[in-house]
Structure 1
Amino acid sequence: MDVIIASNQRIEGEYAIKKIINGNDDKFKKGRISYHYLNLLDPVSIVTFSNVLKLKYKKIDVLINNAGIMSPKSKNYSEDGYGKICLLLSLVNNDYKLFQKMDIKNQIIINDKHFIINFLGPTLLTYLLLPLLQNNDGKYAENYDARIINLSSVLHYIGILDIDNLDGKHYSSGHAFYARSKLALTAWTISLANILSPSRKGSPFDKFLPKILDKSHHGNRVVNVNCCHPGIIYTPGLYQHFASPVLMLVKLLNWLDLLRKPIQGAQTILYLALAPELGNSTGLYFDNCRPILPSSLSRSPAIQEAVMELSQAYVAPYL
């Protein structure tokens, strides 16, 4: 078994590997664990990372999209020097359709780090790695499903997908930005599961991602897609940009043992990754290792189509 940890924090990533190896004695003697640099804010970094994996591996069994940010000091994407992303969209009968030609009046500028790192980055990474997930490697993988696990949040229940505010100009609440990104991720999870389901019959999302739907180029392995709320966990990295009073409150709650520890938050993720009884489960939202109903907005066909349009426009130059 090979385990890959990818992040934009090299020192922390390498430290995590040492900690895992030292705490597991000989459990990794039959496999390997490695770190790779990956910046979900930068599409080029995502493409480079996926190309490295494609050169090294024939298949991937589990992809866990775990990265996320909340309330960064610099909320705007362009402030990091990568520039702005313009999606050409038009509003037709309350449905968002891709514009086929340049029209500056219908440009939508995505300038919110939450939306890019928590949603658009993972979609691009997933699309690029789907061939490895679908590949059965000519051995035993056809008997086992591959799995994609997206880390959502209970805050997706209060998220609003305000497409015309992706530039983030109309409000500054980091929690609102975060909730919106997790709503988009949850709705996209359900949509992608619909596309990849072997029992799919005339899916309304068939028009999206023809490269993914063309099985002849990849393999016939079933890929299940689910998302989960890991719980409210004390991970210093997630709260590092909170205002001092809020950060002090978070630390107090952790000291009072009212927040989950990382090992507790990992349980639902591990369950989704490893449980054999979930071999036919896809398009579900889990909390505490059980499926529950996600928000009504995430189950809305209009919202699902909108997030598919957004992800398609974002990834198109890189597929």
Structure 2
Amino acid sequence: MSLLSPRAVPLLRVYCIGLGVILHQLRRRLRLRPRCPPAPVFPTQNGKVAIVTGGAKGIGYQTVKHLARLGMHVIIAGNSESEGQEAVRKIKEETLTGKVEFLYCDLASMKSIRQFVQQFRAKNCPLHVLVNNAGVMLVPERKTEDGFEEHFGLNYLGHFLLTNLLLDTLKQSGTHSHNARIITVSSATHYVGKLHLDDLQSRCSYSSHGAYAQSKLALVLFTYQLQHLLTANGSHVTANVVDPGVVNTELYKHVFWVVKMVKWMTAWLLFKTAEEGASTTIYAAVSPEVEGVGGCYLYNEERTKSAEVTYDEELQRRLWTESCKMVGISDESSRVP
């Protein structure tokens, strides 16, 4: 296959950005190691409720565990009952709290997402934090239950619909002094992503690397447009997007065998642990430093600049409008001046 083929270009871009992040992580680890900075101490979250998608494994699991330790009632939204219940059992043992539960939610199914929201609403409880964490990476070409390309359908559209269906509850739960928070997990691959509004399903020339990067780019655009709408409506809800870095999780099962081998030999040094990867998500969810602050791209607990294209307000609006059509909800952005 030619290096200039449509499939090879996204692959090279994704691996180049990944290598850059890994080298940055290594430099940062070597720089911080002599000082061993203490872990941040966050205020307790007693009485607050959070939903974490993909909370049974990896970054999501560590996020749930830390939020539960702070006293939050956390609901794991996942597509495996056995993994979800096992995660609940382990977190209860480790944190000595009973404020963790599992509810089934398959983000590759619009029907399942709507059923999850119905189940959650039946609890008649508030919602202070929504963490859009779940995702797939570099999966072979396949479709969701609703016929969407899987990266775009699960990583992006599933969270787009879930967030919109939960917005009313988030708005009712947020207050002037304690905003409800929406945290969406993207990645550095968004910097090399290309958004094709006329081919969001990647039908013309499928590349798992290109489709993955596009889904992560869409999540950043979605977050910025969501914050614009929340601000325009005077809602006490903030939306931020986080970049966990390159983390040692199970997401790499679809990469080339050579990459798997390199990861197996070097992850202990070059990759973040799942706990380290969750740190920015936890920071965005509970830190007083970001109270009332939205529309930010956060990396290593700091605000940083996302790709230039993500600040294109026209592209944000167009993606939002098209997404509303795809998931079958009304376009609230058309009502905002």
User: If the length of structure 2 is used for normalisation, what is the TM-score?
Assistant: 0.73
Which residue matches 1:165? Answer: 199
> What is the alpha-carbon distance in structure 1 between the residues aligned to residue 252 and residue 133 of structure 2?
15
Whether contact under 8 Å (1:153, 1:229) holds in the other structure is: yes
Q: Note if 1:76 corresponds to 2:147.
A: no
Whether contact under 8 Å (1:228, 1:269) holds in the other structure is: yes
Q: Note if 1:8 corresponds to 2:79.
A: yes
- 1:246 Cα deviation from its structure 2 partner: 2.4
Whether contact under 8 Å (2:178, 2:292) holds in the other structure is: no
Change in Cα spacing, 1:136 to 1:35, as seen in structure 2 (3 Å) is closer
For residues 31-110 of structure 1, the aligned pairs below 5 Å read 32-73=99-140, 75-77=141-143, 82-84=145-147
Q: Note if 1:118 corresponds to 2:155.
A: yes
How high is the sequence identity, in percent, across the aligned residues? 33
2:89 counterpart (18, 26, 46): 18
- 1:286 Cα deviation from its structure 2 partner: 0.5
> What is the alpha-carbon distance in structure 2 between the residues aligned to residue 83 and residue 296 of structure 1?
31
Which residue matches 2:280? Answer: 268
Q: Greater CA deviation, 125-134 or 159-168? A: 159-168
Letter aligned with residue 232 of structure 1: V
> What is the alpha-carbon distance in structure 1 between the residues aligned to residue 228 and residue 296 of structure 2?
11
Q: How big is the alpha-carbon RMSD for the aligned residues of Structure 1 and Structure 2? A: 1.9
**Greater per-residue helix proportion:** 2
1:305 counterpart (317, 321, 326): 317
Letter aligned with residue 247 of structure 1: K
> What is the alpha-carbon distance in structure 2 between the residues aligned to residue 135 and residue 302 of structure 1?
29
Which residue matches 2:327? Answer: 315
1:179 counterpart (205, 213, 229): 213
Whether contact under 8 Å (2:173, 2:180) holds in the other structure is: no
Whether contact under 8 Å (1:268, 1:289) holds in the other structure is: yes
Whether contact under 8 Å (2:187, 2:242) holds in the other structure is: yes
Letter aligned with residue 178 of structure 1: Y
Q: Residue 39 of structure 1: SS of its match in structure 2?
A: coil
Whether contact under 8 Å (1:47, 1:318) holds in the other structure is: no
Change in Cα spacing, 1:275 to 1:174, as seen in structure 2 (3 Å) is same
Q: How many residues align?
A: 260
For residues 170-249 of structure 1, the aligned pairs below 5 Å read 170-197=204-231, 200=232, 222-236=236-250, 238-249=251-262
> What is the alpha-carbon distance in structure 2 between the residues aligned to residue 167 and residue 136 of structure 1?
35
Q: Residue 297 of structure 1: SS of its match in structure 2?
A: helix
> What is the alpha-carbon distance in structure 2 between the residues aligned to residue 295 and residue 185 of structure 1?
12
Change in Cα spacing, 1:33 to 1:303, as seen in structure 2 (3 Å) is same
> What is the alpha-carbon distance in structure 1 between the residues aligned to residue 173 and residue 87 of structure 2?
30
- 1:83 Cα deviation from its structure 2 partner: 4.6
Q: Which runs of 5+ in 2 are unaligned?
A: 1-71, 332-337
1:96-126, Cα deviation, whole Å (9 max, x unpaired):
xxxxxxxxxxxxxxx4110111111101000
Whether contact under 8 Å (1:38, 1:45) holds in the other structure is: yes
- 1:52 Cα deviation from its structure 2 partner: 0.6
1:128 counterpart (151, 165, 187): 165
1:135-184, Cα deviation, whole Å (9 max, x unpaired):
149xxx55310000000111101111012333323333322111111111
- 1:5 Cα deviation from its structure 2 partner: 0.5
